[in-house]
């Protein structure tokens, strides 16, 4: 199994941030177009390196600064459209056949766009990118998730926006941002609104903060999926010998609540100490519904194929494991059940059958 062969395999990503996946050259060009002069580097190679170094620095301040630059060039119709278009094309070129890409509309209002306009331009970009990818022979289905920032107070408004656009390419709602001090229950009204409208919710929880955050996300907020959720291991005891699950871990496993695990990102943010110590394999063996994700492709210098290759090298996985993780993701997707089944039966299974031989 090589990077090239894994690229051929059909993949599904549920956790990928639009503002974390720009091409460095695009950041430079959009900055020139919109007159943004605060970029820390002035050619694509050194800018790409700067993003990676900042993400690797171990400093949360520097890590967050990276998003200030990407978000700054995504404030215009052209900027949003281009970033979304290239996102769909880049994912498709990596062999991703189904993607849920998330972003926070409230962060893109600096130059006068309304929330609805921000979503419209972004969706138009995804549609263009998917059309181009299909023409290139790498078809992809992309939907968008709308994120509210957990330190802010616009979550209900964003949930309403997600429901308003539900039939036009928005699949669900998420909250993200600093976890400590901003528990998910702070946004209960937004989650209740989503539930009242039979709409989907995922919550960043159990990444920077531990079990209480996961407990609130599943028990109070009723999330359909957990963004990261790696700290569910705080509720798994004797994992080296005979693992025992606490109440929350049992519930997450019993209810088949998917874990959107992001191996490289989880190491970079310090959620886990190293790839070797990542609980991905423990959780997979305990039959949690684990999925593989990219989080921020630019900052982590990664894509789905590289994330999968890292797991193959670390845990000795084979094609049938990658197929299982991909089907896990597809089963957990925020699109209607028949469409999930179609992608599993017509795209994923035949794709892996060829590779398994």
Q: Which residues are catalytic?
A: 207
Smallest separation (angstroms) from Zn ion to the CB of 204? 6
Smallest separation (angstroms) from Zn ion to the CB of 15? 6
Which residue minimizes CB distance to Zn ion? 295
Beta carbon nearer to Zn ion, 94 or 295: 295
Beta carbon nearer to Zn ion, 206 or 279: 206
Beta carbon nearer to Zn ion, 99 or 245: 99
The answer to whether 91 and 4 are in contact (CB under 8 A) is no
**Three-class DSSP category at 13:** strand
Task: Count the residues of the shown chain that bind Zn ion, applying the rule CB under 5 A.
Answer: 1
Smallest separation (angstroms) from Zn ion to the CB of 213? 14
Beta carbon nearer to Zn ion, 81 or 225: 225
For Zn ion, what does the binding mask look like between residues 133 and 152, x meaning CB under 5 A?
--------------------
Smallest separation (angstroms) from Zn ion to the CB of 203? 11
DSSP 157-209: HHHHHHHHTGGGTEEEEEEES--TT--GGGGHHHHHHHHHTT-EEEEEESSSS
- Tell me which residues in 265-304 interact with Zn ion (CB under 5 A): 295
Residue 297 CA to its chain's centroid (Å): 10
Counting Cβ atoms within 10 Å, is residue 82 exposed (0-12), middle (13-18) or buried (19+)? buried
The Cα 262–Cα 280 span in angstroms is 9
DSSP 252-310: HHHTT--EEE-HHHHHHTTSSS-STT-THHHHHHTT--EEE--B-TTTTT--HHHHHHH
- Tell me which residues in 45-84 interact with Zn ion (CB under 5 A): none
| Binding positions for Zn ion, rule: CB under 5 A | 295
């Amino acid at each position: 199994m090589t990077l090239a062969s894994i690229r051929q395999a059909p993949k599904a990503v549920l956790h990928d941030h639009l503002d974390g996946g720009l091409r460095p050259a695009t950041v430079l060009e959009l900055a020139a177009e919109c007159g943004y002069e605060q970029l820390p580097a002035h050619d694509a190679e050194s800018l790409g390196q700067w993003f990676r170094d900042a993400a690797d620095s171990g400093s949360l301040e520097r890590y967050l600064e990276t998003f200030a630059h990407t978000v700054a060039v995504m404030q215009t119709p052209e900027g949003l459209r281009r970033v979304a278009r290239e996102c769909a094309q880049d994912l498709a070129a990596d062999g991703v056949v189904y993607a849920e890409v998330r972003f926070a509309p409230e962060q893109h209002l600096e130059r006068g766009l309304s929330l609805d306009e921000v979503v419209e331009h972004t969706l138009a970009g995804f549609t263009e990118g998917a059309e181009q990818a299909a023409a290139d022979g790498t078809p992809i289905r992309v939907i968008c998730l709308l994120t509210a920032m957990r330190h802010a107070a616009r979550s209900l408004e964003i949930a309403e926006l997600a429901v308003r656009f539900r039939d036009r390419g928005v699949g669900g709602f998420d909250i993200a941002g600093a976890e400590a001090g901003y528990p998910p229950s702070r946004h209960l009204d937004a989650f209740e609104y989503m539930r009242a409208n039979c709409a989907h919710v995922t919550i960043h929880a159990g990444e920077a903060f531990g079990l209480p955050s996961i407990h609130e996300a599943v028990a109070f907020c009723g999330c359909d999926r957990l963004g990261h959720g790696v700290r569910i291991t705080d509720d798994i005891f004797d994992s080296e010998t005979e693992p025992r699950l606490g109440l929350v871990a049992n519930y997450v496993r019993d209810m088949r609540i998917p874990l959107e695990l992001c191996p490289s990102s989880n190491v970079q943010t310090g959620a886990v100490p190293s790839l070797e110590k990542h609980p991905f394999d423990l959780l997979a063996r305990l039959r949690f519904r684990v999925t593989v994700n990219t989080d921020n492709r630019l900052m982590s210098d990664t894509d789905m194929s590289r994330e999968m290759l890292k797991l193959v090298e670390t845990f000795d996985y084979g094609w049938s494991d990658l197929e299982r993780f991909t089907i896990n993701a597809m089963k957990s997707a925020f699109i209607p059940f028949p469409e999930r089944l179609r992608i599993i039966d017509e795209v994923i299974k035949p794709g892996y059958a060829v590779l398994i031989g």
